[in-house]
Structure 1
Amino acid sequence: MNKEHILEHLRAAKSAHIKWVQKAKFLINGMDVKEDAIPVDSTECKFGQWFYAEGQVLNALSNNPIECMIKIEKLHFNLHDVYMNIFNIYFNKPKGGFFSRIFGQKTHIKDDEIDKAKEYYINLESISNELIEELNRLERRLMAVSEEKIKKLM
């Protein structure tokens, strides 16, 4: 694994995170989003899968304070905690009867619930922006490390 490979995967994880947030926005804006399209668990989304596997290598970078990775993890947890509130509004409703399940009738979301989901989304977006800032800092730190130091980590 070389520096370019690590950078590529970091950027792909950041991109996956951005898409995850966009799907939450689509959901709130009334688009049809499948329940499993936006993982609730922070270890099941593509960003979380990267972070808890390959991303942990970045803890060993000499110019990357451990606080950076701790902050990224905390922001990521917070993001999923906020999304859980949105998920509960849209997906944790009692399902309709037999015919509504067969014919795909959607669960009705009340206006006040939509308003609450939008409030949650504003918070989610704020946390996401902070997470992206931290990932950008991490990327800059990685770019400053020599290829030789990267090879020693592997």
Structure 2
Amino acid sequence: MQKNEVLEQLRAAKAAHINWVQRAKLLISGFQVDESSIPVNSTQCQFGKWFYSDAQKLNAMQNNPMECMSSIEQLHFDLHDIYLNIYKIYYETESKGFFEKIFGKKKKITDEAKTLAKEYFNNMEEVSKKLVAEINRMERRIVAISEKEFEAL
């Protein structure tokens, strides 16, 4: 694995994370967002897929201690835990009747639920900022490693 490839993957994962948060923002802003475009499971989003595959190779880096990866993982879990609350407000429904299944009745969201979803999103944004800061810290550590050292990993 080459350093520039790792940096590209890291930056793509960060961009995917930012897009995931933006889709959640669109959802609470009243836009129709496909449920599958904002996965609840932390291993199913693009960032999670990268983190639990290619990113694990970064644990071998000398200047990237485990606490950096652990911090990113915990923040990522926290983010998805918060989003689960938003998901329940917008997507989780009681069992549908026959006609609702056929005609796809949209879930009605109360004003109180919308306010609560916005509060959850504000928390989500704060966690997201911390996660992006940790990703940026990891990126700086990778950039600091010489090509020769990196190839030896």
Question: What's the TM-score bracket when you normalise by the shorter of the two chains?
Answer: over 0.9
SS in 2 for 1:107: coil
| Cα displacement (A) at 1:128 | 0.3
User: Cα RMSD (Å) of the superposition?
Assistant: 1.1
Comparing 92-101 with 103-112, which one deviates more in the overlay?
92-101
1:112 aligned partner: 112
Structure 1 Cα separation of the partners of residues 93 and 110 of structure 2:
12
Q: What amino acid is the match of 1:135? A: I
Task: Tell me, in whole angstroms, the C-alpha distance in 1 between the residues paired with 2:131 and 2:95.
Answer: 35
Write out aligned runs for 1:4-153 (5 A): 4-153=4-153
Paired with 2:41 and 2:126, the residues of 1 have a C-alpha distance of 19
Cα offset for 1:140? 0.5
Gaps of 5+ in 2: none
Runs of 4+ in 1 over 2 A off after TM superposition: 95-105
CA distance in 2, matches of 1:56, 1:124: 24
Using the TM superposition, name which of 93-102 and 50-59 deviates more. Answer: 93-102
TM-score, structure 2 length as denominator?
A: 0.96
The one-letter code matched in structure 1 to 2:102 is I
- CA positional deviation for 1:117: 0.4
Q: Is the 8 A contact 1:96 1:107 kept in 2?
A: no
Gaps of 5+ in 1: none
Separation in structure 2 between the aligned mates of residue 25 and residue 98 of structure 1, nearest angstrom:
32
Q: 1:13·1:46 contact (CA, 8 Å) conserved in 2?
A: yes
Report how far residue 105 of structure 1 moved. 2.4
Shift of 1:100: 3.1
**Which whole-Å deviations, capped at 9, do the CAs of 1:95-146 have from their partners, x for residues lacking one?**
5433333333211011100100000000000000000000001000000001
Amino acid at match of 2:151: K
Q: Deviation at 1:151?
A: 1.2
Supply the distance in 2 between the matched residues of 1:129 and 1:101 (Cα, whole angstroms): 39
Alpha-carbon separation, structure 1, partners of 2:95 and 2:31: 19
